[in-house]
Chain A
């Protein structure tokens, strides 16, 4: 079983749509959780950290369910500039901050 699993997509949505991405992780001892965004041939950039209480940053909302080992990202009012690959990332417990990446979910927002 992969450590971090995501639906690869692509998700093709019109501008203004709401889209949700899901991710599951296998190591129950994982401590920190993130969504990164990666544009084509560029570096991963932190979008937001994910907390058990859920957190929101503008149009983006992230949720963590530790019992189900499930992480989600909701994007409201999608913009063309949201088109990218969204990476679910987990920090391995007990290590020196080794990040485990999912393969990513591709989002394409069209006019």
Chain B
């Protein structure tokens, strides 16, 4: 069964450093998403991406965040200058179409020190 994959599974970084989280969505999917979950809190939407551009983003997704689909298979989330409060689990998801089920990757646990 096809699945969404994410790397790395864990990332520890110093405050102010840049991190890139990587995702490989399911191959025939067209809609891509990033969500995050701070420990003990609910899953929160960050951004959706379709047709090589951001289609929607939340207030969390400020200028420190960017997304890219550099090569037609990977989907990346970049945080330019990490803050302590960016520590969370980051989930990538993909879907075949609008209103279709979203399938989540296993997540990247980011710890900012």
Contacts and interface: CB of A to CB of B under 8 A. Distances in A.
- Binding partners A and B: yes
A23 B95 CA distance: 24
Interface stretch (B13-21, B38-46, B66-74, B78-86): B38-46
Contacts of A103: 41-42
A97 B43 contact: no
Contact of A102 (B42, B55, B58, B103): B42
Nearest to B97: A97
Nearest to A34: B101
A42 to B, nearest CB: 7
A43 B55 contact: no
Interface in B64-113: 89, 91, 95, 98-107, 109
A105 to B, nearest CB: 12
Interface of B: 31, 33, 35, 41-45, 48, 50, 55-56, 58, 89, 91, 95, 98-107, 109
